[in-house]
Amino acid sequence: MDLTKLAKGLAIGLGAIGPGIGIGIIGGKAVEAVGRNPEAAGLVRTMMILAIGFAEAIAIYALVISLIL
């Protein structure tokens, strides 16, 4: 088995675990915040989308590294 294929798989696989967990936590906390304060739903949604974008950028970095390998 070619080790570069293994490295590519591990790079994107492990690189996607963190952002996946982070996005789940962000979404859960956002729903919890809207449940506590429904009037702030617009602000919470905006902040949630921004945080999800930052978390997803980390997964894109892992994808780029796996493509470079």
CATH of the domain at 46: 1.20.20.10
Q: Which residues contact 34 (CB under 8 A, 6 or more apart)?
A: 40, 41, 44, 45
Number of domains within the chain: 1
Tokens representing 15?
């690189």
pLDDT in tens, 7-47: 888 888 888 898 999 999 999 999 999 999 999 999 999 99
Find the DSSP H helices in the chain.
3-36, 41-68
**Inter-residue contact 47 to 22 (CB < 8 Å):** no
> Tell me: the pLDDT tens digits for 41-67?
999 999 999 999 998 898 888 888 888
pTM of the full structure: 0.77
Domain that holds residue 27: 3-68
